[in-house]
Structure 1
């Protein structure tokens, strides 16, 4: 498969559509390029959640963003989860389907144990081969290419032999998938490596420069929080920080006006706040 990662001719910016904004978005119909939802919230058969998603799909293109496949899990993919995702994709016909380069499942009991978190994978040949097999399996089942996101990680592996951008470049070459580039995650990881905000932005820009053009299908922007002990948390609970905007501007210069999402999952503000952040991204794309 070959990923469809061509940049649109006009700016395309969306927001994460969360429950507090279901009614307001449908009532106000603000100018957005797309909306993105967490796929797992709509796995149930019928019910109000699917009815709301159907209404949203009539108003906007939809992106399905998964948090539970655990694409890098040595225990393998959860067949039930993949089948539910495939059914949802068939129903919604989204513009994009994505999940994370992480592991979440381990062997245990009859169907395995799920960590309910995005846990980091090693960046080495063995991990790359495993991830590529699982991405291929998902793409075959869905009948389409997917996007795979780089994560924020608070621990690492001693056996890393590949630089993270090199790892993703090879993944997209082998599978035809696209990269969902989370700019905030790049800055968070650089901050947790001990860099100050400006230096973290420069490091993130170097990461961006190492990614091959044409492989990035979507960009995520979000806020992060710095704890009193210095640990930086990717909590999606505030406005996008200046250093993240700087990296985003650099990414747009390199990749063109790529579809971009404003993520906000905790301490969700009024809809106008998200729309203002989307407006800033749209201005930078132009």
Structure 2
């Protein structure tokens, strides 16, 4: 897709590649622009020593590959110290001070502002997410990596209005989008699984997102499951078509 001009850059899930020499990564990417996305930093839960080691490695990779952003996730990996088979959303009403302190420290260790991805809320507590993020970004200098399909999932699951993101969207320049699927058991909810074609409501909202921002820089079309060239290419072309309508 890079050779054919259908993709313009590569977003690397960088924690999958920390064992690889950065020079080898640069050779494999052959000059393609890159961004770094972090999935399992677990920066809200790890010790400072663990984070310092990871941050050092990411900084080494960044010096060689020069990503135009580094992004991460605001979520939990454990509940009361126990590993769980899903990644729970933050308790926005009780965790602000901890999250603010940890975000500040993590950015200092990485040596750069970090973009944080919005969560595909399931429960009504997710209604607090936009206001929480607005305050957090204002007080820490962090930013939003706006996941369009996560916002659609939150709208479908807990009726979080899509308009609730408008203020944050005005300052957002980097985006994600992917397919969602219904859960396999009741109560049925929409899950951001990145394994299906982009849904019509996602594409419709994507058009609205593009119409609200004149500074969009990148959008990553995600595929984590059923990673096959033609369906993925079709999603990218659909996103390009929506962008061209508003360019």
Q: Distance in 1 between matches of 2:190 and 2:153?
A: 6
In structure 1, the partner of 2:32 is 60
Q: Distance in 2 between matches of 1:42 and 1:209?
A: 34
In structure 1, the partner of 2:176 is 220
Name which structure has the greater RCO, CA cutoff 8 Å, separation 6+. Answer: 1
Change (3 A) 1:134 1:242: same
In structure 2, the partner of 1:18 is none
**1:107 deviation in Å?**
8.7
Tell whether the 8 Å contact from 1:220 to 1:262 is kept in structure 2 after alignment: yes
Does 2:145 align with 1:180? yes
The CA deviation string for residues 159-178 of structure 1, in whole angstroms up to 9 with x for no partner, is x8x82111111111111111
Moved over 6 A (4+): none
3-state secondary structure, aligned to 1:219: strand
In the superposition, the TM-score normalised over structure 1's length comes to 0.73
Compute the RMSD of aligned alpha carbons: 2.8
In structure 2, the partner of 1:39 is 14
Aligned residues: 239
Aligned residue among 95, 100, 103 for 1:132: 100
Q: Which runs of 5+ in 1 are unaligned?
A: 1-24, 194-199
In structure 2, the partner of 1:20 is none
In structure 2, the partner of 1:274 is 232
Aligned residue among 51, 60, 71 for 1:98: 71
Q: Distance in 2 between matches of 1:91 and 1:29?
A: 25
Q: Distance in 2 between matches of 1:100 and 1:231?
A: 21
**1:269 deviation in Å?**
1.4
In structure 1, the partner of 2:57 is 84
Tell whether the 8 Å contact from 1:148 to 1:178 is kept in structure 2 after alignment: yes
The CA deviation string for residues 218-275 of structure 1, in whole angstroms up to 9 with x for no partner, is 11100011135323221100111110111111111112251111000011111x4323
In structure 1, the partner of 2:92 is 123
Q: Which runs of 5+ in 2 are unaligned?
A: none
The CA deviation string for residues 151-210 of structure 1, in whole angstroms up to 9 with x for no partner, is 2244576xx8x82111111111111111011111111122223xxxxxx6xx54212224
In the superposition, the TM-score normalised over structure 2's length comes to 0.83
